[in-house]
Structure 1
Amino acid sequence: MRHNRGDVLVRAHQLVSRYGLGALTMRRLGAELGVQPSAIYHHFANKQTLLAAVAEEILRQGSRARTCERDDWTGRLREVCSELRDAMLACTDGADVVATVWAFGMGAQAPAAELEDVLRDAGLDDGLALVGSRTLLHYVFGHAFEEQTAIQAVAAGAVERDLASLPDFWTGLDVVIDGLRARLP
């Protein structure tokens, strides 16, 4: 059976969602699709480009319409950060996948660009908007990664931890936003 790029991406996303990033190998993906692993390379040049497509799919599936007004820059930041966090948490190892692809500069750039735009609209210059966007991303990536790791470890019985002991996402986000607000002209 012939598969198209979309079929391969859907199955790759399913593998990561169900079993985690470690399950995404070309061999396993080929087996899932009933093809030789080399057939996947007709659609994706290498595993990195496949992973980038999976990251974009994670973000696409988690996207939501914006509800905050343009002049409510703190609300807009919260919306973007919340959407990113929820999208990553909806997929096993989603934080690892999205953060890795973003760090490699291979994709998952939309949240960063949107955060920069919001910060520029708020009045920060280009340099501070870039630093602020990266700081927010690092916070969201790190928090989501910690949440996913703790949830998976507890579910596997590897650790006993009260998940309520995780740091509050919203309080931490407000601390970062307060710091950005202090930099406004």
Structure 2
Amino acid sequence: MLVLNTVHLNAVHYSECMSPEHNPARHDRDSVARAALALLDEVGLADLSMRRIAARLDVQPSALYWHFANKQELLAELADRITARIPAGASDVLVTARSIRDALFAYRDGAELVLSTYALRLGSSHAQIALETSLGAGSSERATALLHFILGHAALAQLRMHAESHGAAASADEIDPTAGLDAVFDLGVAAIAGVSASQPRDRA
């Protein structure tokens, strides 16, 4: 009887270990991140919960922590995937700045997500490095200032576009950041980078 009970307990333990929340092999880090990015586009950052991501993957929320220590680590991974779209090595700073902005706009609340992880010093420095490459040697501070502008401008524009999509109209005396978006953006980049908005700098 003791042997049978031991076998039964071992079987229960094995079953628990192979359940979704104990079996990290059912999904990997990449599949979790891809599911999270897809959900970000569908529900937005505010509703992107670990529980919702787990439901999409048909696992228990605890299963996600095999791959990410916490939600902030997962969001940092998403931010890295968003900014990975930025081409590296461009000599034209306006091209680089627009590429960063376009990468942020590629996902719903992409700017807010990247901005929040950047504020917490999480994720990669890919965007910063891309700007430094475009600006040239000794441009770390200007690149940082420019990145702050890009993140803030993109977040503001996305928030306004989201509000307008829900029928929230701007007051007549407010400046609409989505009106003349490219011109406003280029002027800001040019002012910080010290180049002409109409004739982007080319170091080549």
Question: Common fold, TM-score beyond 0.5?
Answer: yes
Match of 2:118 in 1: 102
Choose the corresponding residue for 2:42, options 15, 18, 22: 18
Match of 1:50 in 2: 74
For 2:70, the aligned partner's letter is N
Q: Check the 8 A contact 1:98/1:108 in 2, yes or no.
A: no
C-alpha distance in 2 between matches for 1:79 and 1:139: 15
1:1-185 maps to which residues of 2 (within 5 A)? Answer: 2-60=26-84, 62-64=85-87, 68=90, 73=91, 75=92, 77-121=93-137, 124=138, 129-160=139-170, 163-164=178-179, 168-178=184-194
Q: Check the 8 A contact 2:35/2:56 in 1, yes or no.
A: yes
Instruction: Please give the per-residue CA displacement for 1:45-96, whole angstroms capped at 9, x wherever unaligned.
Output: 1001100011111122x33465x5xxxx5x1x22221111000011111111
Query: Of Structure 1 and Structure 2, which has the larger fraction of its residues in helix?
Result: 1
Q: Which moved more, 1:26-35 or 1:153-162?
A: 153-162
Q: Which moved more, 1:92-101 or 1:106-115?
A: 106-115
Instruction: Please give the per-residue CA displacement for 1:142-183, whole angstroms capped at 9, x wherever unaligned.
Output: 11011101110000112247632657111111111228xxxx
Cα RMSD (Å) of the superposition? 2.2
- The Cα of 1:40 is off from its aligned counterpart by 0.2
Which protein has the larger Cα radius of gyration, Structure 1 or Structure 2? Answer: 2
The runs of 4+ residues in structure 1 deviating greater than 4 Å are none
* TM-score (normalised: structure 1): 0.80
For 1:63, the aligned partner's letter is I
The SS at the match of 2:123 is: coil
C-alpha distance in 2 between matches for 1:133 and 1:143: 15
* TM-score (normalised: structure 2): 0.73
Structure 1 residue runs without a partner (length 5+): 180-185
CA 1:165/1:84 → structure 2, altered by over 3 Å: closer, same or farther?
Answer: closer
The SS at the match of 1:58 is: helix
C-alpha distance in 2 between matches for 1:116 and 1:63: 13
For 1:138, the aligned partner's letter is H
The aligned length equals 166
For 2:131, the aligned partner's letter is L
Q: Check the 8 A contact 2:54/2:61 in 1, yes or no.
A: yes
Q: Check the 8 A contact 2:88/2:130 in 1, yes or no.
A: no
Q: Check the 8 A contact 2:76/2:117 in 1, yes or no.
A: yes
